[in-house]
A and B are shown apart, each in its own frame.
Chain A
Amino acid sequence: AQKVTQAQTEISVVEKEDVTLDCVYETRDTTYYLFWYKQPPSGELVFLIRRNSFDEQNEISGRYSWNFQKSTSSFNFTITASQVVDSAVYFCALSEDFSGNTGKLIFGQGTTLQVKP
């Protein structure tokens, strides 16, 4: 069965600290996609990244980086030198590529990140 687990419910850090948000997934498929979304206090979900199951290269975008490891079924998200504006709820999500699927996303429960000045 497909499932996404974000074990960290809440994380609090002080500005400029690095922080890693964990995401562990379960899937029956060999082809799948993983996503991260950010939900700031304004409420809208903002797409951050998509990664397919055949690409295990780590990705970096500014202060954000993602570590995808199929061996441990994890897709972790690191924010370097965190800022107050990074305070948000972050969701990891999974989409499986099987016949009949139409891009349905399975979301984790989310991790609330609070960055204090």
Chain B
Amino acid sequence: DARVTQTPRHKVTEMGQEVTMRCQPILGHNTVFWYRQTMMQGLELLAYFRNRAPLDDSGMPKDRFSAEMPDATLATLKIQPSEPRDSAVYFCASGLTELAKNIQYFGAGTRLSVL
């Protein structure tokens, strides 16, 4: 049963620390998306990749967030330095195609708490 795997599931850190979240997309999927979920804003798209190339990261605070795909099996989202307002659930999703009909399959999320 193929699924998107995210690690860690939970992360508690102190303000100013670096946070790295990892995602293993479903094998064969060529698009990867990062979302952030908060009570106030709901689900927001942060960044997405096609064939490992970043296509749009306009949803990310550029000064502290960065997203990469070192290889086809790993996507990372880093926050440096972290702030309390970054506390949220971060989801990774992958899909088979870059077209509008793309079905995105989500991981279980990383729940981040920045104290």
Q: Which residues of A contact B (CB under 8 A)?
A: 31-33, 35, 37, 42-47, 50, 52, 91, 95-98, 101-105, 107-110
- Verify A95–B43 contact, CB threshold 8 A: no
Give the residues in chain B near A42, CB-CB below 8 Å: 108
Q: Is the interface of B mostly helix, strand, loop or mixed?
A: strand
Q: Is the CB of B42 within 8 A of A107?
A: yes
**B contact residues, total (Cβ < 8 Å):** 27
| Chain B neighbourhood of A110, CB < 8 A | 42-43
Contact residues, B2-32 vs A (CB, 8 A)? 31
Closest to A50 in B: B103
Interface of A is mostly: loop
Task: Specify which of B100, B105, B106, B108 is in contact with A101 (CB 8 Å cutoff).
Answer: B100
> Chain B nearest CB: distance from A6 CB in Å?
10
Q: A44-B106, A103-B95 are in contact. Are A109 and B48 (CB under 8 A)?
A: no
CB pair A103–B97 under 8 Å, yes or no, is yes
Q: Is there contact, CB below 8 Å, between B98 and A44?
A: no
Report the bound CA distance from A31 to B99 in whole Å: 12
Q: Do A31 and B100 touch (CB < 8 A)?
A: yes
Would you call B108 and A44 a contact (CB within 8 A)? yes
By the criterion CB–CB under 8 Å, are B101 and A96 in contact?
no
A95 and B100 contact, CB distance less than 8 A? yes
**Looking at A103, A104, A108, which has the most chain B CB atoms within 10 Å of its CB?**
A103
Instruction: Tell whether B50 is near chain A: CB-to-CB under 8 Å.
Output: yes
Q: Is the CB–CB distance between A44 and B109 below 8 Å?
A: yes
